[in-house]
Amino acid sequence: MTGHWLADPGYQPETPGAMRFFLQPQAAPGEFAQVGVLRRRELAGYSELEYEFAVGGGSVVGVLYWIPEHSLVATSFGTTLQPVRRLIFGPMTDRGREQLVAEFDQSRPTFMTAIRNGLNLAFQLGGFYTYDDKADASRKVLLAFRLPDPESAELLAGRNADACAELLAASLRIWFEVQQPINSAAFVQSGPEWEWDEIARSVGKSAKWVVENVDNIKTVLQFVRSVTG
């Protein structure tokens, strides 16, 4: 293990069991199998895969999940995206929704692509998937991909680092997009006022860590993009 340069020394990763936020400051404690470049745990309903990025003398750990019943590999945003998704699908005038979608298409293109792919069940392209996590009885938003069988086998064997990096890079892009300020002009016809602070209140401990370390994580994102081309 390399030094962990992104997190406060006192910060501990979330405990394995239920699905964890997709980015962690370090590997979680406990038993795991080392499978190629991945640490793998078999949990209730899915396999958890930890993938460590070594960058600039330090590291950060990405967390992915293999859900065999749906043949999906995914990252979890927990409940942190729910306020933004409710904003899009909540009650508003047709004109207001058109304005909001147009604004989001410009400011949050990856996020909107994931919404559309999820609605169309186009998971081969990557889309949002709502998953009921039986481990903690909570509903979580996943960015999910359906990989071809050979690629899935390579991933589970820890030999498909490119797939890990691409999924984590897409997850990071989405997370940075949803942090951007909303153009208030998009809400002229949108109905009820929206309190963007609700997102901050909905953010869990791991997501708070991501926000606090945003500058360093941007460096990780640049690294991931360089790896994936």
Span 125-139, average pLDDT:
92
Q: Which two tokens stand for residue 68?
A: 């065999």
- Does residue 189 have a pLDDT over 50? no
The closest of 192, 155, 145, 172 to 60, measured between CA atoms, is 172
What is the pLDDT, as a whole number, of residue 214? 60
Position 161 scores a pLDDT of 81
Lowest pLDDT segment from 72-81, 113-122, 135-144, 170-179: 170-179
At 221, the pLDDT band (50, 70, 90 cuts) reads low
The first and second tokens of residue 203, run together, are: 């953010």
Helix (H, G, I), strand (E, B) or coil at 138: strand
- Classify residue 119 as exposed, middle or buried by CB count within 10 Å of its CB (0-12, 13-18, 19+): exposed
The pLDDT value given to residue 165: 83
Higher pLDDT, 195 or 112: 112
Where residue 17 falls among pLDDT bands split at 50, 70, 90? confident
What's the pLDDT at 126?
Answer: 94
Report whether pLDDT(194) > 70.
Answer: no
Query: How big is the chain, counted in residues?
Result: 229
Instruction: Read off the pTM.
Output: 0.78
> Of all residues in the chain, what percent are helix, strand and coil, respectively (each to 5)?
40, 20, 40
170 CB neighbour count, 10 Å cutoff: 19
**Integer Cα distance of 71 and 154 in angstroms:** 14
Please give the pLDDT value at position 64.
Answer: 95
Mean pLDDT of 91-110: 76
Q: How does the average pLDDT of the chain come out, rounded?
A: 77
Task: State the average pLDDT over residues 101-107.
Answer: 81
Contacts of 116 (CB under 8 A, 6+ apart): 122, 127
Identity at 55, one-letter amino acid code: V
Percent of the chain with pLDDT over 90: 28
In this prediction, residues 39-62 reach a mean pLDDT of: 84
